[in-house]
Amino acid sequence: MLNITAARRGRRQSLELNMAPLIDMVFILLIFFLVTTSFVKETGIDINRPTASTAVSKEKGSILVGITKDGRVYMDKREIDIRAVRANVERALAENPESQVVVVADKESQTGVVIMAMDGCRLAGANNVSLAAGLPGK
């Protein structure tokens, strides 16, 4: 009986799990998801958009300018002055010249503030300035 136990001890091999390929695979997946992820910029406020039956959704990256019902203007999750819209849009267009500008205005906001914001965007050099509207039923 002792000889069998000693023989088993001699044949016992140490099992190792090589972690290097697993770690390499995790890093490859992490890099893949970071590269393919598109980050959505928000205006930083909750806006009740008007609905339009002719509204279409845009997939391309956009610069968002938010306007609340009481006339406050937001961009990149911070409140800005209506006169600073042009400078902020110029800065954003310098980072990404192909971006579209979307003015996201509350349905109860004043038309004058919306027009001033859109005018500031056009004066900043934006070629494509749109007004956001919600899709019906969404």
Give the domains, in start order, of the chain with CATH numbers: 2-36 (no CATH), 62-131 (3.30.420.270)
Maximum average pLDDT range among 50-59, 104-113, 115-124: 115-124
Secondary structure class of 94 (helix, strand, coil) = helix
CA atoms of 10 and 12, how far apart (whole Å): 6
CA atoms of 133 and 53, how far apart (whole Å): 9
Which tokens hold the place of 57?
A: 């959704």
Per-residue pLDDT tens for 12-32?
A: 666 778 888 889 999 999 998
Which tokens hold the place of 24?
A: 């390499």
Per-residue pLDDT tens for 71-92?
A: 899 988 889 999 999 999 999 8
Per-residue pLDDT tens for 110-138?
A: 889 999 999 999 999 988 888 887 666 65
CA atoms of 131 and 76, how far apart (whole Å): 17
